[in-house]
Structure 1
């Protein structure tokens, strides 16, 4: 009933007890993870089946009532605001996304968070082994359990930071229909979801079958529809960011003349072709300014999910069970129109669209005499023609006529599981199961264009009748006009240079698990009535993943605007494991209330990294009723995933705040710029690149496991003198050694060019990782040069610590006022981040990112995050307010010296160079508070409605510019994964049960 709202915990750090949450309406309460052997249950964080089980690990619980309040379209929305989690890929990530939604506990990386469904693994989305949250069926969710601080000894690798266990409804009988519709106050970003849930008990309760089907759709929100993101703003100038693509073309090559021997333009932006005068002129700010047209602030999603489960007791002691899930998701990312992206091309001087004046400028820049230039203009064909000559150009022409670029990802996932479980004796239980799943992806890049066809279409001339023709007409080539204004690139031209590209990916997961659990042959402590509980078992897992791109995608630079090729990749590993777990009640209701010891161990043998051991030991002490202390120490081991091991060399685009070698007054010395590949004579005229950089990465098959040590120490307080109140406090500390990590681009650039980190200003190991564009000197390359090389190793380390705090108070107002005034409840869940630091290699700085953001720290990590839900309920009515708080954050300064941890914030008056040139107004974000209000009403026992207003006061996101936190995280001049960029929105939902 509504009066039980929040009883199951609303984002509240609840004690890990095997007590079912309060069920809604007439649904039975769900146990975890949907395994109910008579009186035995399983708690998230343990494999032991026993009714009296309590574990020593803290568990955050998102209950059924909270799920109903949130009205999520996907499970990612449930976890986005969880204080113990860091926002990861999701609907707010456009450029840098891959169509999935992920969760990142403690900010240690989504690859260190294990996502399971009813205690079972879920088939990964891609080669990195990470689960796409969009496949989890919202309609069937009973609750979500989140164990932070490590769970590798129980569930295996990937659980270094913890585990998220989505628990589905069990023993559901009847029919339930749910639907919701939401829209932003701006009138866009609409969201729909409709669910059908049906179930039936079989053979007088000996079995049950349940089926849930859900359809959801989320519309896009364009960046240009919000003030904060309408135009990309430079974080270093505060002005609209210059574009590398313009209409007409911008030429990056330096154009020389007698009065300007260093070439045009003198402002370093490039030379723009002006159709009105038929020649090149120096580009102005108005020429290169652009908008965020086509970019999404909220990416669209269409999803169909189906989940079915069934169980049947063939005898009183044996039960067969099975489940199957299917998910089909279509997501889309979008960018402004494609173009030539400053690629290098050969342009014949007899090109049919080249004017005499522009040709003369090009000849002068290339040092071609007037006579030879005239002869080249008169050539009547290709290379065999008399006088034929080409010049090298670097045009930046946006193909606005083509429309926006799209990256559409269609993924289909299915997974089936079957098993048998039952009693060996009255105190021993067994469980044997197998599962298989596949995720297939079709990633389609639409309207991106072909680099080789652009090169072919530029090699054109006028035939005897004056018609533009290509030198090579074997494939229907149409000459391309890059010199005119909007509309001069015709549909026929686009038909030739246009290109869509497809990448297929397939991952598979096979798991076979068997376990025995129960009492340890009746052994018990002399001071406890309950015997020692144990679980032992074995597991086999096989994981494969492959990427199969089409041929254009495999060629570096062929697909315009990708910045990276997509090579064919394949990898496989399998692992054999045995595990054991023990929970021993030492004292029960004796000279103290209770004392419990807990231990576990898992021995793993990976086909890639060999043998490893992970284990845990902990316990709980309750000296008096209502006051419990708990602690857990865990040694976790994570083996590298397929992408980390086997990824082929790839060049991708990253975000760059300032290039130390660019501009008229570079901060780096010329010697280092030239040592890292800048062409001779380019110092002082290397152009900026719209905040972009080329990064080169690849896997490392020699990677070994990484090792983590985790402490959690805390207490649970339920004082008898304050009925309805409970509190949990847990300190956590996680240290990871042999970290699988890569140096960041900031590590490399600062390590080479910064006087603080390279005081001798001589080429060093970091400079060796930099390879500039040999033509322009920029870090944005088009094929040959690597940009900044990022390599993986086990040389890194990482650490984080903080405190989780949970408070709950639930009381009946009748105790104060008498009568029946209703119920009032409060649920607080917060995390204080003491520190978060990482060091990629012993030669790089130790970066402290607590309370900071940057391209090195990426998304901001507030030191305080908390949620407070307050709910008033009376009969069928409930009114609830959620208050979410984010503490202030600052831009990360450059480290004063290698190995300093934590980094000290520079004092007032520090130079802009200390902040990589980022302006003061973009270096700080004050504290943010958001409020959501929810009204819930049960019209009848069968029908109820909910109204939700999110971001009640329409709090606007901070304006930070376009290059302060990395490409994926710094979208639309802000960080929309953390700060709401959509604005106030409304959702109405209805539910019907029979």
Structure 2
């Protein structure tokens, strides 16, 4: 085989540009195996084989030992600790959540992070074409490379924020192992077992690795932790934080919002309910003082305890990879993987809300006499008024806003079972001493089956109230008999099918040098074809909208393909013979022709430079233009209702311009600012795709320095500035419902402006009473409308040395390795509408607009002592403080949280090599048991605790905090064993 083709080098891991020292975590690998006379390597972010690990693009690396020392099995738990990553969907994402684990580089969105395995695309799981990290075998990871900035010129679409490449290792012999984790409280258990066999055959011409893994994770409920046992809120409405819960009550209520002409003599807000229930049975009218909803605090339903805090999971994973040299210098290679993953979500019993027709003849029997008479009076008043106005009337039927939580169903449960497989076959080899080729075809397919229990049929519920079916009694606790519940219950299910095909061929090699002391010029050229297809298939209940509980939606189906040509150059200009260490220039370009009319043909390109005047210092810089084509969901997504947290400015706002805009959108003038038109913190809206979407375009540049001072052997310091800007970013119109409401009613304040289009008259965005309801809500479609920008500095420090102390070796020395990987985020901006004055500045912030906390400073550091067979390691994780993104409200005045304080976690782990075959590891994560503070309440239900900075109310994600960012398990123990033969 030609010495230009080196399989082991092609799979070499833990590469860090400019690095020359190995450390056990976040390592910059040494150059062993990258000798210019022996072989070549391929760094993540390029297709060109190189003689060294240097690259103009900064590459952060997590090596395999970090997974072992951190006691993690799921990839997400290590990757989310990287400073470059803002947590996406995780094992703590219940509502919202979808049973997956995703990677969100730089906080720009999981759909803008390209995930590779061994340098090639991995399988996606839904119409958004995002990779589920649960499908990657963590026990086989050799390293994880994180490349900052757009990389479309090298890899194609999706790499706007950067690339994350998971490198799998070859196994030689038999490797088996397992791990068990459990919290100090004896819950949230997780265990995993795995095995792999690797061997060579046919006198070394071929090699193969096969593997299998089983993983199981127990559920943990929010009620199992004191900080999350009560749903908290209130401060957004200008009230003290208190036991908030939901106004959808287990004992049922009719809320009268006024007759067809608003002229019945009763104020809006009059409620009727069962005898004996607090606040009901007397036709009492609420105190409708703006912001004062706590009058019903004693009646609010605490939905928190029965929601999952940690989602249960069961995973079967198996696969293999092999290669065979079928001719001298030419080999066939293949990869096969299969994953079956089951993850459940658990929510409180279904809350039924909305307007329903009530047949008084059948429903009066369930109410106390005082309510019965008042309801009859309302019916008579409406009948008389309708006769005067010539409006059709249905005697004995009155329309009410109904609230009833069907606790007879216990809980809502959603079970996702994803089966995914990926097959790849290719050939590679040497054309001559200077040229190599590589060609492969890959097919991946994921099918998800989602089964939902605990849903309610809206039509059956209505029939039980309007006299067209057996009457149901919604008034009082547990008043729905088993027969009544079966009459209104409905099970729903849907499925997703996603597939990807990739055919790629490339040639790379060397063209000789420029004669100025530099190495040979390297190049790569090639072509690629990709096709993505996906569909979402809801059942009749979900597609028709006749379901309450989980969100209804229409089917989605679509596909597109792209044909691409690409090229790269690596031009070493100067070398040691020219009096400098090196001067290299790189360039890359790709032309992509999409089958989408709105995208068509697009160019991406990149250029970089490295200059090392002396061996101790390397300067580097790179510019990249990248694109992302819209995914299937964004293009063809069927319209589906959602319930995002949002604030309707017309509910509590004041001012002439706001009032005029609200009235123009359909809110009665006397209801603006009165607190009656938003009964819940979640507002319904209908979302969907748009087939006319074009591509997103990003410009990113990085420049930095690598310091390897020869007077401090073993020290490597890298610092890189990054800036990524995305134009025509695809987003739901206005950047989401909450942003759209704010832009229209608080800023533009003109219902005829395009920004206000979703709320304009005639769109059905509001009910006759002005509220946004399930039946009347705005349509929010995807659009190329936003802009995103992130910038900051990545700093990495690695130092390895020996210390003159040892307990277990004869040398009297042990190895000390120190590593630090940190990010300062200068900007994390989101502009909902390009060219609009509103810019959401999210660096150092969190909340309903910015979402997941984005600390300005985030770092992970580790100190590791290697004393012969014993490795002792300490990890320190730090997040700087963040403040709420709503500058108009100081939540601390309402005993809420205006600022989440700086956050630190300490982890300790030990690893011991019993012999050359057996290694045992154990450790403790979150040594100091750092958790959000447990709330205390006064007699009125107000929170009296002064929060430690992570206990949130209305501005939480879930569980009174952001559980993917802040630890919710507490002190956590693990033990593992690994056997090799």
Which TM-score tier does this pair reach, normalised by the shorter chain? 0.7 to 0.9
SS state of the match for residue 212, structure 2? strand
1:510 has 2:497 as partner: no
Between the aligned partners of 1:833 and 1:241, the Cα distance in structure 2 is: 34
What is the CA deviation profile of residues 624-681 of structure 1, one whole-angstrom value per residue up to 9, with x for unaligned ones?
112111111111111111111111222211012x433336989985433332222565
Structure 2 counterpart of 1:457: 464
The structural deviation recorded for 1:769 is 2.5
SS state of the match for residue 975, structure 1? coil
The structural deviation recorded for 1:963 is 2.7
Alpha-carbon spacing, 1:205–1:664, altered in 2? closer, same or farther (3 Å) = closer
Structure 2 counterpart of 1:198: 197
Alpha-carbon spacing, 1:103–1:292, altered in 2? closer, same or farther (3 Å) = same
Give the counterpart of 2:593 among 573, 598, 605: 605
What is the CA deviation profile of residues 244-300 of structure 1, one whole-angstrom value per residue up to 9, with x for unaligned ones?
3112112222489xxx986468xx595443357966545732112424132112111
Structure 2 counterpart of 1:884: 877
SS state of the match for residue 363, structure 1? helix
Alpha-carbon spacing, 1:405–1:849, altered in 2? closer, same or farther (3 Å) = same
Aligned length: 910
| Residue pairs, 1:77-476, within 5 angstroms | 77-170=77-170, 172-234=171-233, 235-236=235-236, 237=239, 238-254=241-257, 263=266, 270-275=271-276, 280-281=283-284, 284-351=296-363, 352-368=365-381, 389-460=396-467, 471-472=468-469
- Is residue 33–residue 39 contact of structure 2 (8 Å, CA) maintained in 1? no
Structure 1 counterpart of 2:941: none
Between the aligned partners of 2:619 and 2:790, the Cα distance in structure 1 is: 22
- Is residue 272–residue 282 contact of structure 2 (8 Å, CA) maintained in 1? no
The structural deviation recorded for 1:51 is 3.8
1:554 has 2:529 as partner: no
* Higher mean C-alpha displacement, 699-708 vs 128-137: 699-708
- Is residue 37–residue 422 contact of structure 1 (8 Å, CA) maintained in 2? no
Please, which runs of 5 or more residues in structure 2 have no aligned partner?
Answer: 1-12, 286-294, 386-392, 933-948
What is the CA deviation profile of residues 162-189 of structure 1, one whole-angstrom value per residue up to 9, with x for unaligned ones?
111111112x211111111111222221
Between the aligned partners of 1:918 and 1:80, the Cα distance in structure 2 is: 33
- Is residue 139–residue 213 contact of structure 1 (8 Å, CA) maintained in 2? no
The structural deviation recorded for 1:416 is 0.3
SS state of the match for residue 327, structure 2? coil
Structure 1 counterpart of 2:633: 643
TM-score (norm 1): 0.87
SS state of the match for residue 530, structure 1? coil
The structural deviation recorded for 1:44 is 1.0
Structure 2 counterpart of 1:39: 39
- Is residue 15–residue 43 contact of structure 2 (8 Å, CA) maintained in 1? no
- Is residue 812–residue 822 contact of structure 1 (8 Å, CA) maintained in 2? yes
What is the CA deviation profile of residues 334-385 of structure 1, one whole-angstrom value per residue up to 9, with x for unaligned ones?
110013223423334333534543322222334449999xxxxxxxxxxxxx
The structural deviation recorded for 1:233 is 1.0
What is the CA deviation profile of residues 59-97 of structure 1, one whole-angstrom value per residue up to 9, with x for unaligned ones?
111101111112322111121111011111111211121
- Is residue 23–residue 818 contact of structure 2 (8 Å, CA) maintained in 1? no
Alpha-carbon spacing, 1:30–1:412, altered in 2? closer, same or farther (3 Å) = farther
The structural deviation recorded for 1:12 is 9.6
Alpha-carbon spacing, 1:187–1:687, altered in 2? closer, same or farther (3 Å) = farther
Give the counterpart of 1:809 among 776, 779, 799: 799
Structure 2 counterpart of 1:873: 866
| Residue pairs, 1:527-546, within 5 angstroms | 527-528=516-517, 530-546=519-535
SS state of the match for residue 827, structure 2? strand
- Is residue 275–residue 368 contact of structure 2 (8 Å, CA) maintained in 1? no
Structure 2 counterpart of 1:492: 483
Structure 2 counterpart of 1:704: 694
- Is residue 16–residue 53 contact of structure 2 (8 Å, CA) maintained in 1? no
- Is residue 193–residue 214 contact of structure 2 (8 Å, CA) maintained in 1? yes
SS state of the match for residue 299, structure 2? helix
Structure 2 counterpart of 1:692: 682
**Over aligned residues, Cα RMSD in angstroms?**
3.1
Structure 1 counterpart of 2:842: 849
- Is residue 901–residue 950 contact of structure 2 (8 Å, CA) maintained in 1? no
Alpha-carbon spacing, 1:727–1:370, altered in 2? closer, same or farther (3 Å) = closer
Alpha-carbon spacing, 1:665–1:581, altered in 2? closer, same or farther (3 Å) = closer
Alpha-carbon spacing, 1:12–1:533, altered in 2? closer, same or farther (3 Å) = closer
1:750 has 2:736 as partner: no
The structural deviation recorded for 1:919 is 4.1
SS state of the match for residue 324, structure 2? strand
SS state of the match for residue 94, structure 1? coil
Alpha-carbon spacing, 1:55–1:270, altered in 2? closer, same or farther (3 Å) = farther
Structure 2 counterpart of 1:675: 664
1:568 has 2:568 as partner: no
The structural deviation recorded for 1:312 is 0.8
1:923 has 2:898 as partner: yes
- Is residue 15–residue 53 contact of structure 2 (8 Å, CA) maintained in 1? no
Structure 2 counterpart of 1:858: 851
Between the aligned partners of 1:662 and 1:100, the Cα distance in structure 2 is: 36
Alpha-carbon spacing, 1:668–1:448, altered in 2? closer, same or farther (3 Å) = farther
Between the aligned partners of 1:269 and 1:158, the Cα distance in structure 2 is: 53
Alpha-carbon spacing, 1:775–1:671, altered in 2? closer, same or farther (3 Å) = same
What is the CA deviation profile of residues 9-37 of structure 1, one whole-angstrom value per residue up to 9, with x for unaligned ones?
xx9993267999999xxxx99999xxx99
Structure 2 counterpart of 1:723: 713
SS state of the match for residue 559, structure 1? coil
Between the aligned partners of 2:702 and 2:728, the Cα distance in structure 1 is: 21
The structural deviation recorded for 1:39 is 2.4
Structure 2 counterpart of 1:971: 958
Structure 2 counterpart of 1:655: 645
Structure 2 counterpart of 1:945: 920
What is the CA deviation profile of residues 515-574 of structure 1, one whole-angstrom value per residue up to 9, with x for unaligned ones?
111112xx2121235311111110000110011110110123x21133x42111111010
Structure 2 counterpart of 1:821: 813
Structure 2 counterpart of 1:579: 566
- Is residue 448–residue 499 contact of structure 1 (8 Å, CA) maintained in 2? yes
SS state of the match for residue 675, structure 1? helix
- Is residue 947–residue 989 contact of structure 1 (8 Å, CA) maintained in 2? yes
SS state of the match for residue 47, structure 2? coil
Alpha-carbon spacing, 1:870–1:12, altered in 2? closer, same or farther (3 Å) = farther
Structure 1 counterpart of 2:510: 519
What is the CA deviation profile of residues 561-603 of structure 1, one whole-angstrom value per residue up to 9, with x for unaligned ones?
33x4211111101000011111111112121011111111111
Between the aligned partners of 2:968 and 2:671, the Cα distance in structure 1 is: 41
Between the aligned partners of 2:521 and 2:653, the Cα distance in structure 1 is: 74
Alpha-carbon spacing, 1:667–1:914, altered in 2? closer, same or farther (3 Å) = farther
- Is residue 60–residue 146 contact of structure 1 (8 Å, CA) maintained in 2? yes
- Is residue 792–residue 823 contact of structure 2 (8 Å, CA) maintained in 1? yes
Between the aligned partners of 2:466 and 2:682, the Cα distance in structure 1 is: 29
Between the aligned partners of 1:618 and 1:697, the Cα distance in structure 2 is: 41
SS state of the match for residue 439, structure 2? strand
Structure 2 counterpart of 1:467: none
Between the aligned partners of 2:613 and 2:265, the Cα distance in structure 1 is: 82
